[in-house]
Each structure stands twice: as structure tokens, then as C-alpha cells.
Chains A and B, each alone.
Chain A
Amino acid sequence: MALITVEKLSVRYGAHTVLHHVDMVIEPGEIVTIVGPNGSGKTSLLRAIIGATRPCAGQVSLKPGLKIGYVPQKLHVDPTLPISVERFMRLTDPVSRRQCVEALESAGVPDLLQRQMSQLSGGQFQRVLLARALINRPDILLLDEATQGLDQRGSASFYQQIEAVRRETGCAILMISHELHVVMSASDRVICLNGHVCCEGSPAVVASAPEYRALFGTGTGGALALYRHEHDHNHDHDHDASTQEAAE
């Protein structure tokens, strides 16, 4: 049975429709990446799955008893809040110290248990978030732009860690990413989102799909492809061109 089934999901903020008729199924053990330009509804889709956003139509069904490990996009620890890595990892689940250590090991940062969260580097912080998500042995990991703020090498090694986690634990992975060239090779399946599902399939199939090319251009790079997309596409998308040009 599928872990997550999304049927005809629509999400609206005020008068603005962010997601329209989105269908998606996540099977056990697969790595699925959602790609799409800014404002394409990627984060809204993830929020709808964890129940943080109420859909205005359609539904999200989770397999009964599904355990979700969630890695947020960014987590701000206020400097006034003293909290060690161990305490952070035991925040929501009653787990032993041993389980904390194991989870940190599978996330690639075994020695951080007693460190304060505010003393971690960007890369260490993301791995601690990953370790916390792994601690209750989830059926599926959800990652929202988990490599934001990491340099290219940092994010490449983070994705290798994700693949290793899947290999070792067999849990499914659903992630959002901007970094097309990096995630494409690591994914079993790619869903190209822009308010609706433009196309989906294996990375190779998606990369050659006309809808994907209309959205990202024919190049494989991220920023350049997005830029070109703004100037030569004729696919009907209503996202905000100015923010993307400003990002160039």
C-alpha cells in the first residue's frame, strides 16, 4: 500500500491558488524529488501532507500508522534558548541516549551529542535535523530544501547521506529541491511542480519532457535554466517573473 496518496489537492491562500488538482503517490522505499520554480507550491504541498495547511479541495491520505520524519527548511534557535543536541533530539519522542547516538551516526555526525545547538555549523545543524527525523525509524522522510545555506560540496555530501539512509533503513524519501543537477541523479522519480504537476517520471524522462524544458530550459544548470525559462517559454504559468529575475 502507498505511504502517501494525494488526490486532486488544491490549496488556496486568500484569492491566490497555490496548488491546483495535484495528484501524487509515494510508494515505500522510493526517493522522490519535487522540483519547481519559486512560488510553485512545493512547500505548500509538503505542509498539506503534514497537516499544517488545510486544502480547499481534494485530500491527502496517509497510510494508517505512518511514521513521518520531517526535516524543516530552516530552524531558528534563538540565542537565548540553551539547548543541547541530545535534548533537542529527545524533544518529541521518548528515546534513549543510545538511540540518539545511533541516529547521529547514521546522519554522519556521531560526536555532537553534548554540543549546544547554537554552536553548530550550517552543515552540522542540517545533519542534526536529519538525525532527529531518523530517530523514531520513520517510514518516510520529508525534506524541505534541506540543503539551503550549504555550499555545493556540503549539499552534495548531504544528498549522499540521504541515499545511504535509504540504503540502510529502506525508508522512503520525499524531498523538495532547487538544486536540479544534484538531486536528479539521486532520485528514483522526479515530480515537476508549478501550481500543478507539469510532468513526472524517472529523472531522464522528466529532463527530456517538453513541460520540464519549458520550465527550466534545456540546460542542466539551475539558475541559468530558470533565467532562460523566463524568456523563451510559452507554457502557461502564472508565477512571479520579477522575483526570479531579481535573483539572477
Chain B
Amino acid sequence: MLDDFMMRATLAGIGVAFAAAPLGCFVVWRRMAYFGDATAHAAILGVALSLTFQMSIFTGALAVALVMALTVSLLAGRGYAMDTLLGVLAHSALAFGLVAVSFLSGVRIDLMAYLFGDILAVSRSDLVVIWGGAALVVALIVWRWSQLLTATLNEELAYASGFDPRREQLILTLSLAVTVAVAVKVVGVLLIAAMLIIPAAAARNLARSPETMALIAAGIGALSAITGLRAAYVFDTPAGPSIVCVAAIVFACLGLIGWGTQDRA
């Protein structure tokens, strides 16, 4: 079954969708969309480093995404507004990454493959990494679910309930770095944030509880991966962007339905 490249690609897409769904919900609820973007853009620097030091792309991307996420957490609230800080770090990391890649002579690099993903080239070992990372992220979020939700609603409430909201923030940050690292191959660094935000945002209109929102987001993400890949095969379009296009269309349709039936304030 895994001999078929389309099957491997589909499984990879579903794996990323499962990790991105619950994490994406928190990204939306906490208004961290730009944070996801910044971490993802930094990953291209990780790709360059991996190629230089001949590590796996996953290791390099994970390392840089982690450093990036922790740097942003540390610098937050020290003089610059969050979006300014993220803008500086994200685009600097992207620029340094692109420059670093250009120094790599002798290695033929398909930059497009990292910017937009190369899901059709997913190998069996990639699949293990993707599903391993996704399982880790989902397990972390399920384990800390109530605490993460409480910390998202109110910091003091978290303290009064006996846990430190900064630790929950760290868990989200780490999950984000892992998700970015496993998703580089699937959708590429430019479209990872889309896989986080679009399914979660699309699920909002159908959900009545935080849990159903995460589950519906996972469903929409998986559906987008399957349909997007199929469309990419049929119409000969790039796979990663096709997946995101399907997710965007689902978002638009659900948004229109929600708009049409909206009777609540």
C-alpha cells in the first residue's frame, strides 16, 4: 500500500492535518496567527543549515523553529509590540535562510520544494517522522487540554487553579515548532500557517464547544489533504498549494452558510 506515492502523500497530508487542527484552534483563539507564520518562515533557515551540515531537514527545521519560538516568547513585552517583533524576526530569518541557501554550491537545491512543499516525494521514513511528530503534538495538547484552555481564557484564573500559564504557553510554542518541522515537506514553509489557521477558522461556524471545533478542524484538514492531492493529480497543479486552496474553499462555503443562517449576536 505504501509503495504508491499518492498513498504516502495522502497519509502525510492527513498526519499534518491532525496535528495542525487542535494547535490551529489555539493559534486562532489566542490570536497567534502571525506567530505561526514567523516560526514557519524561520524554518527555511533551518533547511539551509540542514543542507550545510548534512542533517535531516526535519532536525534543522525543528531546531531553528524552536529557537525562533523561544526567542519570540522571551522578547515579548520588552519594548516592541508583538507584531513588530514577529515581523522583524520572521522576515530576517527568511532572508538569512535564502542567502544561506545561495552559498551552498555543489548541492542542487530545489528551493521551491521547501517553500511550497514536496509532498509527492514523501518517503516511508518521512511518513514515520510526520506521524511521530503529529502524534506527539496531539498527545501534548490532549494531555494539557483543560489547562491550555484555562490559560487561553485568563492568566490569573490559571494561577488561581494552581498552574503556571507560562508553562502552557511554552507547550503550545514547542508544539508549533514540531508541527512546522514535520509540515515543511508537506506544504512548505510559506503555507504552514494556512494549514494551522484555515481549517480551525472554517470549523468555528459548525462548533458549539472547543472540543468539537478541534475535531471538525481535523476533519476539514484531512478532507482538504485528500481532495487537494486528488485535484493536484487530475489538474497537474502543485500539491501543497492545492491542499490549501481546498481548505480555503471549504472555509468560504462554511462562512457563507454561517453568514446566511446567522441569528446570534
Q: Which of A47, A50, A81 lies at the interface centre, i.e. has the most chain B CB atoms within 10 A of its CB? A: A81
Smallest CB gap from A93: residue in B: B161
Task: List the B side residues contacting A75 at CB < 8 Å.
Answer: 153-154, 157
Task: List the B side residues contacting A142 at CB < 8 Å.
Answer: 160
- Beta-carbon contacts of A74-89 to B below 8 Å, as 1s and 0s? 0111101111100110
Q: How many residue pairs at the A-B interface have CB separations less than 8 Å? A: 68
Contact A72 B157 (CB under 8 A): yes
| Interface membership of A15, Cβ < 8 A | no
- Beta-carbon contacts of B167-206 to A below 8 Å, as 1s and 0s? 0000000000000000000000000000000000100100
Smallest CB gap from A114: residue in B: B208
Contacts A91-B150, A92-B146, A92-B150: A82 and B207 contacting too (C-beta < 8 A)? yes
| Interface membership of B233, Cβ < 8 A | no
Contact B29 A80 (CB under 8 A): yes
Contact A50 B159 (CB under 8 A): yes
| Interface membership of B83, Cβ < 8 A | no
Which of these, B31, B147, B159, B207, contacts A47 with CB under 8 Å? B159
Chain A contact residues (Cβ within 8 angstroms of B): what range?
20 to 34
| Interface membership of A119, Cβ < 8 A | yes
Q: Which positions 68-109 of chain B face chain A at CB distance < 8 Å?
A: none
Q: How far is the CB of A122 from chain B (nearest CB, A)?
A: 13
Task: List the B side residues contacting A69 at CB < 8 Å.
Answer: 160
Contact A119 B264 (CB under 8 A): yes
- Beta-carbon contacts of B151-164 to A below 8 Å, as 1s and 0s? 01111110111000
Contact A47 B264 (CB under 8 A): no
| Interface membership of B149, Cβ < 8 A | yes
Which of these, B29, B147, B150, B161, contacts A81 with CB under 8 Å? B29
**Bound-complex Cα distance A75 to B160 (A):** 14
| Interface membership of B28, Cβ < 8 A | yes
Task: List the B side residues contacting A139 at CB < 8 Å.
Answer: none
| Interface membership of A161, Cβ < 8 A | no
Smallest CB gap from B205: residue in A: A82
Contact A116 B156 (CB under 8 A): no
Smallest CB gap from B200: residue in A: A80
Smallest CB gap from A133: residue in B: B160
- Beta-carbon contacts of B106-144 to A below 8 Å, as 1s and 0s? 000000000000000000000000000000000000000
**Bound-complex Cα distance A9 to B31 (A):** 35
Smallest CB gap from A136: residue in B: B161
| Interface membership of A212, Cβ < 8 A | no
Contact A70 B160 (CB under 8 A): yes
Task: List the B side residues contacting A47 at CB < 8 Å.
Answer: 156, 159
Task: List the B side residues contacting A80 at CB < 8 Å.
Answer: 28-29, 201, 204
| Interface membership of B213, Cβ < 8 A | yes
| Interface membership of A68, Cβ < 8 A | yes
Contact B146 A83 (CB under 8 A): no
Task: List the B side residues contacting A73 at CB < 8 Å.
Answer: 156
| Interface membership of A64, Cβ < 8 A | no
Q: How far is the CB of A141 from chain B (nearest CB, A)?
A: 11
Task: List the B side residues contacting A83 at CB < 8 Å.
Answer: 149, 209-210
| Interface membership of B234, Cβ < 8 A | no
Contact B150 A116 (CB under 8 A): no
| Interface membership of A247, Cβ < 8 A | no
Q: How far is the CB of A94 from chain B (nearest CB, A)?
A: 9
Smallest CB gap from B149: residue in A: A91
**Bound-complex Cα distance A90 to B71 (A):** 34
Task: List the B side residues contacting A81 at CB < 8 Å.
Answer: 29, 152-153, 210, 213
What are 7 contact pairs spanning A and B, CB under 8 A?
A: A78-B29, A78-B30, A81-B210, A82-B210, A82-B213, A83-B149, A92-B161
User: Which 3 A-B residue pairings sit nearest by Cβ, starting from the closest?
Assistant: A70-B160, A52-B159, A92-B161
Apart from A69-B160, A76-B154, A81-B152, what are 16 other A-B pairs with CB-CB below 8 Å?
A: A47-B156, A72-B154, A72-B157, A73-B156, A75-B157, A76-B153, A78-B30, A81-B210, A82-B207, A82-B212, A82-B213, A83-B209, A83-B210, A91-B153, A119-B264, A142-B160
Give the A-binding residues of B (Cβ under 8 A): 28-31, 146-147, 149-150, 152-157, 159-161, 201, 204, 207-210, 212-213, 264-265
